[in-house]
Homo-oligomer: A and B are copies of this chain.
Amino acid sequence: MTAIDSVKRLLLISNSTLYGSGYLDHAEREIRDFLGNTARVIFVPFAVHDLRVYAAKAQERFRDMGFVLTSIHDVSNKARAIDEADVVFVGGGNTFRLLKGLYDYELLGPIRRKVAAGMPYIGSSAGSIVACPTLKTTKDMPVVQPPCFEALGLVSFQISPHYLDSDPSSTHMGETQEERIMQFLEENAEPVVGLREGSILRVQDGVVTLKGATTARIFKRPPVGSEHTHELRRNPGADAARDSKPTDHRRMHRDSGTCIPLVWRGQSGCASSVEYAHTRWRISRKARVVGT
C-alpha cells in the first residue's frame, strides 16, 4: 500500500443526461472547471453498440464546450492515442460491453498509467463504474462476457450510478438498488457509493468531493453495532458541524472519511472474484468526503 495519491484527477458522473436537460448539460460547469485549458480529449465509446453515432454525439457536445474530442474507435493505434491525449472521457452505456472493449483493445494498462501520471479522467455512468476496482456494482445486463470483472481500479471504492431510493409504496418484488448493493457487500469488502442522478464525485489533491445538484449514499459492511449506510450531502455547514464534534452517528462517519480510502492497489491482470473478498483496504484518515 502506498500513501494517498494526490496526483490522480477524476470526475465521476452518475449519469450523462439528467431529466429535463440535454446530454451532459448538468455536468458542463464541472467538466469545464475540471478540465480548464485541456485541449485533446480521447473518447472511449465501447459501452454503446453504435460507436459512430455515439462518438458523433460526444464530439459535438465537447466541441460546444471548446474541446477537441477524438473517438478511440476511429484510431488504429489506441494505446498511443491514450498516451498522447490530455484527458480521457469514458462514456456510459452497458458496463459489460465497455469493460470487454477495454480488454479487447488492451486499454486498461495505458489508461491506468496515464491517470497515475496525472491525466484527468472523466467517466459517466458505466464510465464511472469502470474507474472502480470491478464492475460488480453495475445494474446492466451481462450481455457480453469480459474476460474478468476487474476494472481500472483508479479508486478503491465502488460506484453504483443512477442510484434510486427505494419506493416504500412499490408493489414490485424485484430487488431494490439498496438490496442489490447489500448482496454486493455480502460478498465483497469495498464500500459502495450510491450516486444519485445529478451527482458527481471529483477526485483531486487526495480528496473526494461530492458535486452536482443531488446527493449520494455510502454503503459499507457494518462493523458490529453500527449502521451500514449513511448519507453524503452537499452541506456547506459540514466543516462547521465537524468542528463542533457532532454526536450524530452518520455525520461522524462522513466527516471521519474512513469510508473512502483513495488508494486502491490490486492485481494488474485478471483476478478471481474470491480474491476481492479477502483484499484488505487501506483506511486513511487523510481521505475526506466534503461538501462544496
Contacts and interface: CB of A to CB of B under 8 A. Distances in A.
Interface of A: 15, 17-20, 49, 93-94, 97, 100, 135-145, 148-149, 161-162, 164, 171-175, 180-181, 183-184, 186-188, 197, 272-274
Contacts of A173: 15, 17-19, 162, 197
**Copies in the assembly, this chain:** 2
Contact of A172 (B144, B149, B162): B162
A139 B141 contact: yes
Contacts of A100: 273
Interface of A is mostly: loop
A186 B143 contact: yes
A94 B274 CA distance: 16
Nearest to A271: B145
A183 B94 contact: yes
A173 B172 CA distance: 19
Given A136-B141, A140-B183, 12 more contacts: A19-B171, A100-B273, A137-B141, A138-B142, A140-B180, A142-B142, A143-B184, A144-B187, A144-B274, A145-B149, A162-B173, A164-B172
Contacts of A20: 171
A98 to B, nearest CB: 11
Given A171-B20, A172-B164, A184 B141 contact: yes
A143 B175 contact: no
A142 B145 CA distance: 11
B180 A197 contact: no
A22 B186 CA distance: 25
5 contacts: A15-B173, A97-B187, A141-B181, A145-B148, A145-B149
Nearest to A144: B273
A142 to B, nearest CB: 5
A124 to B, nearest CB: 11
Contacts of A172: 19, 162, 164, 197
Nearest to A182: B49
A183 B148 contact: no
A1 B205 CA distance: 60
Nearest to A172: B164
- 9 tightest A-B contacts by CB? A162-B174, A145-B273, A19-B171, A49-B186, A143-B187, A141-B180, A143-B184, A144-B273, A145-B149
